[in-house]
Amino acid sequence: MNWDWEKLKKQQRGRGGPSGGGVQPPDFEGINEKLRRLKNVKLPGGKLVAAALVLLWIASGIYIVDPDEIGVVTRFGAYNRTTPPGPHYHIPYPVESVDTPKVTRIRRTEIGYRSLSRDRNRPFEQGQTKDVPEEALTLTGDENIVNVQFIVQYMIKDPVHYLFNVSEQENTVKGAAEAAMREVIGKSKIDAALTTGKLDIQNQTLALMQDILDRYDSGIRVVAVQLQNVHPPDEVVEAFKDVASAREDKSRYINEADAYRNDLLPKARGQAAIIQNQAEAYRESKIRQAKGDAARFLSVVREYDKAKDVTRTRLYLETMENVLSSPDMDKLIMSDEALKKSVPYLPLDKLPLRQEGQTQAGPDQNQGQGARP
C-alpha cells in the first residue's frame, strides 16, 4: 500500500509535530509487513481437512429405510424416485433430499374431544378427555342438535401423494371427517344416532370420507371410524334420559310378553296335539268296534238263516251264561217240580235298603223341582 508521506508530514506540522503533544501516526510499514508474513503462512493439514469435509459431504447421502417406511427422494424439491426398505444413497444436500414416511403405521385423529396428555407431576387418569364443542355439535335430519365425538384411524396409501398433494395432512383428515360426519348425521334421525343406528353411521361416514380424500389425491386410506360418545346437549340431556328409560321399559315389556308367549304357545300346541290324538284314537276305536259288531251281527244273521232253531237256542244259552256267570248276581237254582211246589221267592231283606235309598233321593229331587202340595 503506498502512502502520501508528504501529506502526512504536513498534517503533523499543522498539529504541532511530534514534539507538539499531538497523536502519534501509526506505523503502517510494520502493519504491512505483518500482513505479508501472515499471507505467506501455509498450514500443513489444510488439504486433509478439505478432503475430510468432502468425504463427509459425500457420506451424508447414505440413508436407511426401515421396514415400515418408504423412501421418497426429491431433487431440488421435485419428486424423483421412491426407494424400498434397506440402505440407499442419494446425492447429498442441497441437490437431493429424502423423506421416509411410515406407511404401515396406523395414525389417529380425534374429533369433538381431545385426550389429555400425561402429566409428570400427577398420575394419568384413563379416559381423561377435554370436550371440543365446536367440532362435536351437529344437526340431525329431524332438526335436533346432538353432540358427536369420534375418532378416525388412517394410514398412508401412497407416500408420494401424501407428501406432495396435501399439506397439513392431519388437518385435512380432520376436515374431511367433520364434513362426512355432519352430512351423514344430517340425513339421520336423532333416535338412530343415539341407539341402534351407530354402526350404519360409522360405515357411511367411512365411505364418504374415503371418497373425499380420494378426490383430493391425498394418498390416505381410512381404516376405521369409531363413535366414542353420542349424546344430546347438556341442557336437554335429562329429558333424553327419561325418553331412553321409557324406551328401555317398552323393550323390556315386549321381551317379557314374547317370553310368556313363547312359553305358553308350545304348551298349548302340545295339549291340543294330545287331545287331537286322543280324539282320533277314540274315533278309530269306535269305528273299528262298530265294524266288528256289525260283522259279528251279520255273521250271526247268516248262521241264524241257516238254522234258526239251533241259533235261537245257542243265543239263549250264551245270554243266560253271561247273565248267570256274573258274580254280582244272587242265584237260586230249583228244579221244575220244586218250583211248582214252592212259594214265589221275594227278597224281603233287601227291600228296606232300596226304599231307604229312594227316600234319601227323594228330598233332593223335590228341592230341585220345587215343593208340591
The predicted-structure confidence for 53-62, as pLDDT tens digits, reads as follows 888 888 888 8
Q: Are residues 111 and 221 part of one domain?
A: yes
State the sign of the Cα–Cα–Cα–Cα dihedral 15, 20, 24, 29.
positive
Provide the CATH number for the domain around residue 212. Answer: 3.30.479.30
Q: 111 with 78, same domain?
A: no
Query: Does residue 44 form part of some domain?
Result: no
What beta strand segments (E) does the chain contain? Answer: 62-65, 71-75, 78-83, 86-89, 96-99, 107-111, 113-115, 129-131, 137-139, 145-156, 220-231
Last residue of a domain, one of 197, 232, 267: 232
Shared domain for 111 and 95, answered yes or no, is no
Say if residues 136 and 183 touch (Cβ distance below 8 Å).
Answer: no
Which of residues 209, 232, 255 is at a domain's end?
Answer: 232
From 181, 201, 232, the end of a domain falls on 232
Residue pLDDT, tens place only, 40-53: 655 556 678 888 88
User: Which residue, 159, 295, 144, is CA-closest to 221?
Assistant: 159
Cβ proximity of 130 and 116 under 8 Å: yes
Map residue 252 onto helix, strand or coil: helix
| In a shared domain, residues 89 and 160 | no
Residue 80 lies in a domain: yes
**In this structure, is residue 151 part of a structural domain?**
yes
**Distance between CA 54 and CA 245 in Å, rounded?**
77
pLDDT in tens, 227-259: 988 888 777 777 777 877 887 889 899 999 999
Render 122-191 in DSSP notation, one character per residue: SPPPTT-EEE-HHHHEEE-TTS-EEEEEEEEEEEES-HHHHHHT-SSHHHHHHHHHHHHHHHHHHTS-HH
Residues 79 and 141 in one domain: no
Please, which pLDDT band fits residue 337 given cuts at 50, 70 and 90? confident
Q: Are residues 74 and 135 in the same domain?
A: no
Residue 358 belongs to some domain of the structure: no
Q: Cβ-count burial of 81 within 10 angstroms (0-12 exposed, 13-18 middle, 19+ buried)?
A: middle
What pTM value is reported for the model? 0.51
Q: Are residues 86 and 111 in the same domain?
A: no
Is residue 181 one of the residues assigned to a domain?
yes
Provide the 10 A C-beta neighbour count for residue 144. 18
Identify whether 288 is part of a domain: no
**Domain containing residue 70:** 60-99
16 is a domain residue = no
Q: Quote the pLDDT of residue 291.
A: 92
Residue-wise pLDDT for 319-333, tens only, equals: 888 887 877 777 777
Please say whether the dihedral angle defined by the alpha carbons of residues 137, 140, 145 and 147, taken in this order, is positive or negative: negative
Q: Is 372's pLDDT higher than 60?
A: no
Are 64 and 111 part of one and the same domain?
Answer: no
Comparison of pLDDT for 145 and 152, the residue scoring more: 152
Instruction: Give the model's pLDDT for residue 196.
Output: 83
Q: Is the pLDDT of residue 127 over 70?
A: no
Under 8 Å between Cβ of 146 and 140: yes
- One domain, residues 88 and 160: no
- Provide mean pLDDT across the span 74-89: 89
- 172 and 95 in a common domain: no
Picking from 152, 154, 161, 153, the residue whose alpha carbon sits closest to that of residue 219 is 161
Are the beta carbons of 151 and 111 closer than 8 angstroms? yes
pLDDT at 369 over 70: no
Q: What is the pLDDT of residue 371?
A: 39
Q: Is the pLDDT of residue 1 over 50?
A: no
Alpha-carbon distance values, 172 to 124, 143, 178 (Å): 30, 28, 10
Structural domain total, the chain: 2
111 with 193, same domain: the answer is yes
Do the domain assignments include residue 111?
yes
Same-domain status, 95 and 187: no
Measuring CA to CA, how many Å separate 29 from each of 5, 65, 206? 12, 62, 84
